Structure 1
Amino acid sequence: MLLRKFNLKFKFLLLIGTLLGLTLTLSYLITSQLMTDSLTEEATLRAMTISQGIAQYSQEAILTRDRLALETMINEAFKDPAILYIFIVDVKQNILAHTDMTQQGRTYFPSALQGQRQVKGSVELVTSSDSDGRERLDVITPILFAGQKVIGAVHVGFSKRPIYETVAQSQKKIRLFILLALCVGLLGAWLLAYIIVKPIRRLVQGVKAITEGEYPQIQMKSNDEIGLLVSNFNEMSRNLREKELIKRAFSQYVSENILESFLQNPMSLQLGGTRTEATILFTDIRNFTALAEHLEPSEVVHILNDYFAAVVEIIQKYEGTLDKFIGDAVMAIFGTPLRHDNDEERAVRAALEMNERFQLLKQKWVREGYPEIEIGVGINTGEVIAGNVGSLQRLAYTVIGNSVNMAARIEKLNKRFHTQILISASTYKRLESILDAIPLPPTRVRGKSEEIQVYVVVGFRAEPLSHRNVEFGTEEYKLI
């Protein structure tokens, strides 16, 4: 829990330092133990060699009681600094010669020597501690006459203190080396942590920038896992930027389904256009310009907001695209950028629902004291050029072409014929099997030299007349 408070570099250093420290400490302990065991083994062999050598050459001196010869041998061997004492006893445990002259002639009691005993061949090893707590090794070698009869024994006391002193001196050097290795290791770990953490910090900064609405690209050339992570981050940032661009361009104008379609294919959001077939819908409030001259600005905005809110909701319900607001008029597109098999039907159903909703709004406005007004809807299906126009900083998705102009002209005919919803012949041909519509006499429109055929929409045949409950604001209206 405490480590959560520290940054990644500190955690990395702590981990590497701990592992390095444990490894070096373990190596130090193992090395010290191996060194101690090796020196102990060497000292034991040396003590056994000295003891066996004295035993071999002291046979005649013991038999002849030549104390001078015995003392000469043990004093010569006593020059080894690791030897504590040497003495020779006969079979009755009488001390014949001793490096401590005061002990000569006394009786030796083997039971006084307590410790861990070990036998190697004919030699007995006893590990014990003296009164000062210093560990020592007693080597007892029998003196054999003619290789068979025991005539005495050689006792060599060997101190382990020189061994420990040698090990201690070596340990000082090892500790110094460990300290140096630890410093070098920590420095290397810090450099490695810096190399690893630096791009991670840049990634953290990049993620933070994304949460703030920016989509940076991190420049770093590396073929390792960090480089792959940075590359994936850059790809993610580009994708998010493209999706955000789509959201900004379309979130206020299209339904969630259309927006999701763009998000799944960001490459479609590019400058330029393509030829495609679409159904275009125009709707506006009839004579609204003259009406607005007699209303307060706030009242004009109030009526338009009510009307536009209903229109936009219906367009998105039928998965059309809101192209633009033109004064009190609205232009919508069905069939691009998201295509359905029944885009013409969706457009006409949207127009019917717009008219139904408008009748409810008109009743509401009349109760509020506004004069009665009507709307007109014009629909046409044909080839258009669809795409994003503008700049990379500000894009607008739209359609252009004669089919768009024709839909606008058809919508204007509603005023001439006192109708609400008119559709072109191209739209009607796709729906004649399911749509009831009344043909009007061929008529001319501005921009066309030939007469065109339009139809007044009555309704879809498959739909029986029914009561609909429409909730608006705090009031509920029944549409028959």
Structure 2
Amino acid sequence: MSRVTPLSPSQQSQITPSTTTLSFKSSDSKGQQMNNSASTIQILNSRPISASGTQRSNSLFDETYITSNSEFEAERIDKQMPVMMRLESAVFEPKKNTYDPNQFSSSTLNLNSKSETNLSTMALNDPTPSETGSIYSLASSPRTISITFSLLTSVEVEKQVVLLSLYRAELYVSDFLDLGRKLTVLQKQMITDNYYSKFETDDYFNTFNNYKSILKSLAAVHKHNKASFFLFDFTSRNADYIYVNTKQTETRIWNSKLYDNQQEYYYMSNIESLPYSNITKYNLTKDLKFDVIGYIEQEFWNPFAETYFKLSQSYDKALVPMSVQTQGADSVEERVYICYQENVYSQINETKFLGVTSANVVVRELASFIKNYHVSARGFALVVEMNYDQESNTLKKRMVAYKDYNQLAKKDPESTGGYKIPDAEEIEDLFLRFVITQIIPNNVHDVNIKSEELFRFMYGGESYLMAFKIVSSSKDLNMQWLTIICAPEIDFIGNLLLLTGLNIGVSILAFCFSMVFVFYFASSISKPLLYFSSESKAISNLKVHRGGIIKTRIREILLLSEAFEKMKTTLRSFMRFVPRQLIVEMVEKGIEMKLGGHIHENITILFSDVEDFTTWSEKLEPQFLIRHVSEYFHVMTEEIVNEEGTLDKYIGDAVMAFWGAPNFMYDTSMRACRAAIKCQERMDKLRKIWEKQNKPLFKCRIGLHTGSCIIGNIGSLWRLNYTALGDSVNLASRLEGQNKFYGTEILISQDTYKNVASSFNCRRIDTVGVKGKSVGITIYELISRKEETIPNPKIETRLKLTPIYESALAEYQLGRFTEALKLLMTRCQDIDCNDLATQTLIDRCKEYIQYPPYN
């Protein structure tokens, strides 16, 4: 027996009616067992399945929830399950008119269309619609092969057309499979997040209340994808099986109280000691409660013996070999289905196997696309499934989609679903059998090497072209799909004979015209060259007086003349000592620099200086000090420029820079924080070098603030300085100075913190008063990037200290100085006894305990 599918009409008639409503009440405590009503089916665990032998493969979708509209950011489902009410429709949009065959595309397709496929227009041709009006043809019109192809051999033309057709077909097939992968990952994430948002143990995962939550998650995903996906399921390690499927048309009854009138919900309980399986069928109401429709007992079904469950013990994610379902219309494209599955693991113990979940889709949409995909007059597209059988050490191949549906499966009353899917050697069409078994390599190594190559072969006295490509979204799975394009060679070279004669005539006319043009062009270009020669000498002497652009019809000379004028403008601006970045921008826009400035929003300012620089400057020789400080400036400047910051000025040992001008940026805070962390990392490395050279070990302190300020050209007509002015600049400078009171390296303001909190680890240090402001400013220590993977004991200690210190700070700010002191003394100092911020807060608490403040 294959994976359980919805009950047949005969089984439906055997269901014992019931009107029991499941209330699913849970206790308030996570540690207590969840209680069900009297009518609830009791979940009994069969022997657990060990996941110790599972090969954990890398997932393509680990980072976030992935939904079909690429906009949905999933949230955890609580008892009210709000996600189900917000889940968007999984209807993909047409692709953009771009395609890179060397890179997997993440664009989307519409799986709800019956036989319409919008393919992107490629630069290789000027396509016209085929007879279906929906698929573009690559060889149905003389315009398909342009005259420029006459420069290529007929072999190259054939290769380009076949491979282009292959890339376009593979793009659709890959997205078809990728949709199943994304939905499976979505329901997997919903299952685990729903559970672990409530519990911190795995003890209650296989309880009936959690199965109810899983069933709701499957229902939410199925509701918006049932046009293509007929079944979503979950199999637990205890052999319990939960699934949601689309109702058969004849059994659909409209009920305004139901969550979805086209869904059926089943729970199968398998107990090894019993000779049968218990199946319970439900209705899900709009208020997310389950009504028991009835029960049925069927012959014991052991999922552990099924192919899909065996695959789950070897692969974290897998394609299950094609199978046939028992419901749906009596047609091949509605019965043959594809299943993609992924394992579900504990978030507490990542090696603990909890079950496997999958999405099941019939081949209707894919088969319709392949049927209507026009390659040439007699060409065709084909999708093949390759599955390496370790027992027989052979590569088994079966067709997934082809223009003749009857070749995909043949009727067999004795087989599941009434159809049997033939292996490649059993295909009735002799030509197809020859292509799949003889032309396509029969081992994985050759398939990978020869993918995207053009094959030529003879069959029945006629020459054929063929190419295949491994479907991108199947490359990292246990089995791969191949997209194949095959067509008679004569379909592609018929127009080349006509083009050959036409090109000969065009070439003769072009030669005659070119001789006349060369004579005219030579005389037109010699005069401007003398002008450019004299201008070059003037520029070499810095004589950059304003000239004029040469008037000519020759585009290249006109562009060269404009370039000379821009170069002279640039040199004039350089002589006024304006930053290069600004000069380049002004030259490109044709604007000469002037005094004045404008208010800019979202500017992030950086200030840094050297700790105890005054002491060092008194001790060191001037020449040595200049060289030593220059090394420090080089490191700081390089990291600022790498993050596209604008270096404002050097002020003694200080560096001032900002982001957001002259070029506008959305992420100024992110760039500034990255630059600050990289500066400190580079300084750590530089100090190690200085230590070996017995040089002074400079330490720098950095302050960052984000806000609005005036930025522009300040100075006189003889010398300009492109700089920033305003309260935000002063605050950034004061934040840099505050580092010495807290023993920190980088301090950022609250305005900067709000923009980077999701990407960087920060510690709330204190709320400080700032001159000129009536409200205190909360300051934060910038610690590290959240995606930091390189071990760093200093950072790890600081991250461990952060939550305890912030708790103590909160107690301190609420006036509970004794509680704050206790946290600081007993916990913070145990983690880092040298943390100056902790010591500063301890001193304040002691002072306020002895001398309480008035307010």
TM-score with structure 1 setting the length: 0.49
Q: Which has the higher helix share?
A: 1
Q: Which one has more relative contact order, counting CA pairs under 8 Å at least 6 apart?
A: 1
TM-score (ref. length: structure 2): 0.28
Which has the larger Rg? 1
